[in-house]
Chains A and B, each alone.
Chain A
Amino acid sequence: MKNRIRVLRAEHDWSQAQVADLLGIARQTVNALETGKYAPSLPLAFKISRLFSKPVEEIFDPDSVEE
Protein backbone atom coordinates (compact mmCIF):
# COMPACT_ATOMS: atom_id res chain seq x y z
CA MET A 1 0.00 0.00 0.00
CA LYS A 2 1.42 3.39 -1.06
CA ASN A 3 1.92 5.87 1.74
CA ARG A 4 3.66 9.12 2.71
CA ILE A 5 5.71 7.74 5.61
CA ARG A 6 9.08 8.42 3.94
CA VAL A 7 8.07 12.03 3.14
CA LEU A 8 6.73 12.63 6.66
CA ARG A 9 9.83 11.07 8.19
CA ALA A 10 12.04 13.37 6.11
CA GLU A 11 9.97 16.39 7.20
CA HIS A 12 10.68 15.47 10.82
CA ASP A 13 14.32 14.76 9.98
CA TRP A 14 14.08 11.30 11.53
CA SER A 15 16.01 8.21 10.51
CA GLN A 16 14.29 4.86 9.94
CA ALA A 17 15.85 3.64 13.19
CA GLN A 18 14.38 6.58 15.12
CA VAL A 19 10.90 5.97 13.69
CA ALA A 20 11.30 2.25 14.50
CA ASP A 21 12.13 3.08 18.12
CA LEU A 22 9.26 5.56 18.41
CA LEU A 23 6.81 2.96 17.07
CA GLY A 24 8.40 0.01 18.91
CA ILE A 25 8.97 -1.94 15.69
CA ALA A 26 12.05 -3.14 13.77
CA ARG A 27 13.86 -0.83 11.33
CA GLN A 28 13.25 -3.42 8.59
CA THR A 29 9.51 -3.07 9.23
CA VAL A 30 9.73 0.72 8.75
CA ASN A 31 11.49 0.06 5.45
CA ALA A 32 8.83 -2.46 4.37
CA LEU A 33 6.11 0.07 5.23
CA GLU A 34 7.83 2.91 3.34
CA THR A 35 8.33 0.83 0.22
CA GLY A 36 4.71 -0.33 0.31
CA LYS A 37 5.74 -3.98 0.64
CA TYR A 38 3.79 -4.34 3.86
CA ALA A 39 0.38 -2.93 4.80
CA PRO A 40 0.19 -2.32 8.57
CA SER A 41 -2.49 -3.55 10.94
CA LEU A 42 -5.11 -1.04 12.09
CA PRO A 43 -3.43 -0.50 15.51
CA LEU A 44 -0.04 0.17 13.87
CA ALA A 45 -1.63 2.49 11.29
CA PHE A 46 -3.14 4.53 14.14
CA LYS A 47 0.21 4.61 15.96
CA ILE A 48 1.80 5.99 12.78
CA SER A 49 -1.04 8.48 12.48
CA ARG A 50 -0.44 9.69 16.06
CA LEU A 51 3.32 9.85 15.54
CA PHE A 52 3.03 12.18 12.54
CA SER A 53 -0.12 13.95 13.84
CA LYS A 54 -1.96 13.24 10.59
CA PRO A 55 -5.16 11.30 9.90
CA VAL A 56 -4.65 7.74 8.61
CA GLU A 57 -6.19 8.59 5.22
CA GLU A 58 -3.63 11.39 4.74
CA ILE A 59 -0.77 8.94 5.26
CA PHE A 60 -2.04 5.83 3.45
CA ASP A 61 -3.54 5.64 -0.02
CA PRO A 62 -6.30 3.01 0.14
CA ASP A 63 -6.59 2.93 -3.69
CA SER A 64 -3.05 1.61 -4.13
CA VAL A 65 -3.01 -1.80 -2.51
CA GLU A 66 0.09 -3.60 -3.83
CA GLU A 67 0.65 -7.33 -4.03
Chain B
Amino acid sequence: MTRQMNPTDRAKRQYMVRFVIAMIAYIAIIIPVSTAAAHTSGALRIALAMTPLIPIAVLFISAVVMIRSVDELERQIHIEALAISAGLTALLALTYGLLEVAGFPHPSAWITYCVLMFTWGITVPFVSRRYKG
Protein backbone atom coordinates (compact mmCIF):
# COMPACT_ATOMS: atom_id res chain seq x y z
CA MET B 1 0.00 0.00 0.00
CA THR B 2 1.45 3.38 -0.97
CA ARG B 3 0.95 6.01 1.71
CA GLN B 4 -0.13 9.41 0.41
CA MET B 5 1.85 12.31 1.81
CA ASN B 6 -0.27 14.68 3.92
CA PRO B 7 -0.59 18.37 2.87
CA THR B 8 1.90 19.69 5.46
CA ASP B 9 4.65 17.20 4.59
CA ARG B 10 3.99 17.75 0.88
CA ALA B 11 4.23 21.57 1.27
CA LYS B 12 7.53 21.31 3.18
CA ARG B 13 8.97 18.91 0.61
CA GLN B 14 7.89 21.15 -2.30
CA TYR B 15 9.51 24.14 -0.57
CA MET B 16 12.80 22.27 -0.11
CA VAL B 17 12.82 21.23 -3.79
CA ARG B 18 12.07 24.82 -4.92
CA PHE B 19 14.67 26.19 -2.47
CA VAL B 20 17.40 23.91 -3.87
CA ILE B 21 16.44 24.71 -7.51
CA ALA B 22 16.36 28.47 -6.80
CA MET B 23 19.74 28.36 -5.04
CA ILE B 24 21.32 26.33 -7.87
CA ALA B 25 19.90 28.82 -10.40
CA TYR B 26 21.19 31.77 -8.34
CA ILE B 27 24.69 30.30 -8.00
CA ALA B 28 24.74 29.34 -11.69
CA ILE B 29 23.88 32.85 -12.94
CA ILE B 30 25.44 35.19 -10.37
CA ILE B 31 29.07 35.05 -11.65
CA PRO B 32 28.37 35.09 -15.45
CA VAL B 33 25.77 37.84 -15.03
CA SER B 34 28.05 39.96 -12.80
CA THR B 35 30.92 39.53 -15.27
CA ALA B 36 28.69 40.45 -18.23
CA ALA B 37 27.23 43.44 -16.35
CA ALA B 38 30.75 44.76 -15.72
CA HIS B 39 31.37 44.91 -19.48
CA THR B 40 28.14 46.69 -20.40
CA SER B 41 26.54 50.01 -19.56
CA GLY B 42 23.21 51.79 -19.23
CA ALA B 43 19.90 49.93 -19.14
CA LEU B 44 21.46 46.60 -20.17
CA ARG B 45 23.84 46.76 -17.23
CA ILE B 46 20.97 47.41 -14.82
CA ALA B 47 18.91 44.57 -16.38
CA LEU B 48 21.82 42.13 -16.11
CA ALA B 49 22.56 43.19 -12.53
CA MET B 50 18.91 42.54 -11.62
CA THR B 51 18.76 39.04 -13.22
CA PRO B 52 19.75 37.12 -10.04
CA LEU B 53 16.61 38.60 -8.49
CA ILE B 54 14.50 36.10 -10.48
CA PRO B 55 15.47 32.95 -8.47
CA ILE B 56 15.26 35.00 -5.24
CA ALA B 57 11.71 36.10 -6.18
CA VAL B 58 10.86 32.43 -6.82
CA LEU B 59 12.28 31.64 -3.38
CA PHE B 60 10.14 34.35 -1.78
CA ILE B 61 6.95 33.10 -3.50
CA SER B 62 7.83 29.51 -2.48
CA ALA B 63 8.21 30.59 1.16
CA VAL B 64 4.79 32.31 1.11
CA VAL B 65 3.17 29.24 -0.51
CA MET B 66 4.84 26.96 2.06
CA ILE B 67 3.71 29.04 5.06
CA ARG B 68 0.14 29.10 3.70
CA SER B 69 0.10 25.36 2.97
CA VAL B 70 1.50 23.86 6.18
CA ASP B 71 -0.72 23.06 9.17
CA GLU B 72 -1.53 25.62 11.87
CA LEU B 73 1.21 24.58 14.31
CA GLU B 74 3.92 24.61 11.63
CA ARG B 75 2.67 28.05 10.53
CA GLN B 76 2.76 29.30 14.11
CA ILE B 77 6.33 28.01 14.52
CA HIS B 78 7.48 29.74 11.31
CA ILE B 79 5.75 33.03 12.13
CA GLU B 80 7.17 33.01 15.67
CA ALA B 81 10.64 32.19 14.29
CA LEU B 82 10.33 34.99 11.71
CA ALA B 83 9.35 37.49 14.42
CA ILE B 84 12.35 36.46 16.56
CA SER B 85 14.72 36.49 13.57
CA ALA B 86 13.47 39.95 12.52
CA GLY B 87 14.24 41.18 16.05
CA LEU B 88 17.67 39.52 16.01
CA THR B 89 18.43 41.04 12.60
CA ALA B 90 17.43 44.49 13.86
CA LEU B 91 19.64 44.01 16.93
CA LEU B 92 22.60 42.88 14.81
CA ALA B 93 22.05 45.72 12.31
CA LEU B 94 21.97 48.27 15.13
CA THR B 95 25.07 46.73 16.74
CA TYR B 96 26.98 46.86 13.47
CA GLY B 97 25.72 50.37 12.78
CA LEU B 98 27.29 51.47 16.07
CA LEU B 99 30.51 49.61 15.21
CA GLU B 100 30.65 51.56 11.94
CA VAL B 101 30.89 54.71 14.03
CA ALA B 102 33.97 53.10 15.57
CA GLY B 103 35.51 52.65 12.10
CA PHE B 104 34.22 49.25 10.95
CA PRO B 105 33.76 48.94 7.14
CA HIS B 106 30.42 49.80 5.55
CA PRO B 107 28.87 46.53 4.23
CA SER B 108 26.48 46.07 1.30
CA ALA B 109 22.75 46.36 2.16
CA TRP B 110 21.99 42.84 0.90
CA ILE B 111 23.81 41.37 3.93
CA THR B 112 20.68 42.21 5.96
CA TYR B 113 18.66 39.74 3.84
CA CYS B 114 21.29 37.00 4.40
CA VAL B 115 21.27 37.64 8.16
CA LEU B 116 17.45 37.48 8.27
CA MET B 117 17.35 34.19 6.31
CA PHE B 118 20.15 32.70 8.42
CA THR B 119 18.58 33.68 11.75
CA TRP B 120 15.16 32.41 10.55
CA GLY B 121 16.77 29.07 9.65
CA ILE B 122 18.46 28.65 13.03
CA THR B 123 15.46 29.92 15.04
CA VAL B 124 12.90 27.40 13.68
CA PRO B 125 14.40 24.36 15.53
CA PHE B 126 14.55 26.35 18.78
CA VAL B 127 10.90 27.43 18.52
CA SER B 128 9.87 23.85 17.52
CA ARG B 129 11.42 22.48 20.74
CA ARG B 130 8.70 24.22 22.76
CA TYR B 131 6.07 22.01 21.14
CA LYS B 132 7.89 18.69 21.40
CA GLY B 133 6.67 16.14 23.91
Hey, which bits of chain A sit against chain B, CB under 8 A? 17, 20-21, 24-26, 28-29, 31-32, 34-35, 37-38, 40-41, 44
Residues from chain B with Cβ under 8 Å of A17 in the complex = 3
Hey, which bits of chain B sit against chain A, CB under 8 A? 3-4, 6-9, 70-74, 128, 130-133
Residues from chain A with Cβ under 8 Å of B74 in the complex = 26, 28-29
The 10 sampled A-B contact pairs (Cβ below 8 Å) are: A20-B8, A24-B8, A25-B8, A25-B72, A28-B74, A32-B133, A34-B133, A37-B130, A38-B131, A44-B72
Q: How many A-B residue pairs have CB under 8 A?
A: 50
Residue with the highest number of chain B CB atoms closer than 10 Å, among A29, A32, A37, A38:
A29
Residue with the highest number of chain A CB atoms closer than 10 Å, among B8, B73, B74:
B73
The interface residues of chain B, by DSSP majority, are classed as: loop
Residues from chain A with Cβ under 8 Å of B9 in the complex = 26
Residues from chain A with Cβ under 8 Å of B133 in the complex = 31-32, 34-35, 37
Q: 4 closest pairs, A vs B, by CB?
A: A35-B133, A25-B71, A32-B131, A26-B8
